[in-house]
Structure 1
Amino acid sequence: MPLVLLGTAACTADTEAPGPTRQDAAAARPSPFQDCAGLAGDPAGRGEAPGPDKADGPGGAAGDLLPELTLTCFTGGAPIALRDVRGPAVVNIWASWCPPCRKELPAFQRLSERAEGQLRVVGVNSRDSRAAAQSIGEDFGVRFPMLVDQGEAVQRALRRTAIPLTIFVDAQGGIRHIDSSGALDDARLAALVHQHLGLTVPT
Structure 2
Amino acid sequence: MKLYYSPGACSLSPHIVARELGLDITLDKVDLKARRTQSGEDYLQINPKGYVPALELDNGQVLTEGTAIVQYLADRHTGAKLAPANGTIERARLQEMLGYISTELHKSYSPLFNPATPEPVREERKAYLRKRYALLEQTLTQQPHLLGDDFTVADAYLFTVTNWAGGVDLDLSEFPALQAFQQRVGQRPAVQAALAAEGLGGKQQAA
TM-score normalized by the length of structure 2: 0.27
TM-score normalized by the length of structure 1: 0.27
Q: Which has the larger radius of gyration?
A: 2
More helix by share: 2
